[in-house]
A = this chain, B = another copy of it.
């Protein structure tokens, strides 16, 4: 399909222009809502052109920075390019780009890390300021001006509704055969006019196939023809397979105890190799007729669908390896029988997550012995990526599982610590912590009971003695013994213990 055939509306055809011309419509200080979620469906031409424009302005000594709101993470062509030219005044609600992260952690740009289900409503409520421009990738423009979405939905509906001006990127690489995969819910309202979101099963369709937009707002249409920048997944390592094994054993145990149906409940899975290993494990496992209600479709979920193990998957975006992305695009007609892409306010809606009873599986940076989880900060001060949808899912899930290797940096750091340096998921929201060492089932336990199972089941043997020592001493010396802590040592305990061990070994 040529680009021409992708832009059927005559009025919008007349607005076709180059990315440079379109980028010239974005002014310094603007808030710009862009498409893009986990590296899928981000605009591929205008942000690069805009970065050049900003760079040139800076070279002339003119200030030029913008606020950028997206669905979630994008790609080097967007976050990377704009960060490199110091083009961000403010970024929200999620990023995972090395250059962007560097800018945030050097204090050169502001970053607001928001639950992904909250973003669209905050824009509607007027909590984020005014949205000046939207830059949204779509797969096609219909004759009547409606828009066929591409490989992610994210907050596109809201950006298209809210922005004063809209720049479309029409990407002819995306197979137009995915027409019918999307479900754009136009039933959201601002309180007090909200009504139930009528999803009772992951496969329920409640919206439209297309974005509807006032065509007079569209100021530019840019043609593109390039695929999403996908990263290959490395095959699961031994630790990922062990973690997957513990989770599958636990789920099988829950079925035997009658606490889970034989076909589970809808799965949510964070992105990454551990998550893919769990999904890979399910292919071998005894569970049939699975469903997913999640943010992102990964390779592992498509494999489950192809293997006939998963009946249906609902998400807001795909995030696939290059080969899987190619296959997904080629098989769009077939895939849409088992896949729905929704706006992220619906894929991550607390109401729907609680109703469906999701089994939520998310990664973490560190967990403490009392079950608090840090998902976002290195050393309590530097952002890694952001909370993403983990809070939407963990708080409202049927089962909230957090998984991590027990150590990082080749064993130099324990991911189980006395006290996390930043809290994203509180002790109230974490049912299960699992590492390659084992699984801690925290349901119904008091803090001290949690500490015992987390240390004994999850900590790496190299750090278990230190954590036991901390907990034992805290039990004796802590002013309060509900959550015993030695505040003066909480953050230093493990590094100092490790240094002692090393110096003893050197003697």
Given A110-B449, A448-B107, A448-B110, A488 contacting B481 (CB threshold 8 A): no
A261 interface residue (CB < 8 Å to B):
yes
* A351-365 interface with B by 8 A CB criterion: 351, 354-357
A162 interface residue (CB < 8 Å to B):
no
Q: Are B111 and A482 closer than 8 Å at their CB atoms?
A: yes
Residue from the list B107, B191, B266, B422 in contact with A355, Cβ < 8 A:
B191
Q: Which residues of chain B are within 8 angstroms of A383 by Cβ–Cβ distance? A: 480, 482-483
Residue from the list B122, B350, B445 in contact with A443, Cβ < 8 A:
B122
Q: Is the interface of A mostly helix, strand, loop or mixed?
A: loop
A182 interface residue (CB < 8 Å to B):
no
Nearest Cβ on chain B to A116's Cβ, whole angstroms:
10
* A174-196 interface with B by 8 A CB criterion: 190-192, 194-196
Residue from the list B114, B380, B427 in contact with A487, Cβ < 8 A:
B380
A414 interface residue (CB < 8 Å to B):
no
A288 interface residue (CB < 8 Å to B):
no
Q: Which residues of chain B are within 8 angstroms of A351 by Cβ–Cβ distance? A: 196, 350-351, 354-355
Residue from the list B122, B424, B446, B479 in contact with A111, Cβ < 8 A:
B446
* A376-416 interface with B by 8 A CB criterion: 377-383, 387, 391, 395-396, 398
Q: Which residues of chain B are within 8 angstroms of A196 by Cβ–Cβ distance? A: 196-198, 200, 351, 355
* Residue in chain B with minimal CB distance to A441: B127
Q: Which residues of chain B are within 8 angstroms of A356 by Cβ–Cβ distance? A: 191-192, 194
Q: Are A444 and B480 closer than 8 Å at their CB atoms?
A: no
Q: Mark A251-270, 1 if CB is under 8 A from B, else 0.
A: 00000011101000110000
Nearest Cβ on chain B to A239's Cβ, whole angstroms:
26
A351–B431 CA distance with the chains assembled, in angstroms = 20
Q: A122-B443, A387-B428 are in contact. List 18 more A-B contacts (CB 8 A).
A: A105-B481, A107-B481, A107-B482, A110-B448, A113-B428, A129-B444, A191-B398, A196-B200, A350-B354, A351-B355, A380-B483, A381-B485, A382-B482, A383-B483, A421-B485, A422-B483, A424-B426, A487-B492
Task: Give me 23 A-to-B residue pairs in the complex whose CB atoms sit less than 8 angstroms apart, sorted by A's number.
Answer: A104-B481, A107-B475, A110-B446, A110-B449, A112-B446, A125-B398, A127-B259, A127-B443, A128-B444, A191-B265, A191-B355, A191-B356, A194-B357, A196-B196, A196-B197, A350-B350, A350-B351, A351-B351, A381-B484, A391-B426, A421-B485, A423-B423, A424-B428
Report the 6 A-B pairs with minimum CB-CB distance, sorted nearest first.
Answer: A191-B357, A382-B480, A107-B481, A381-B480, A196-B196, A423-B423
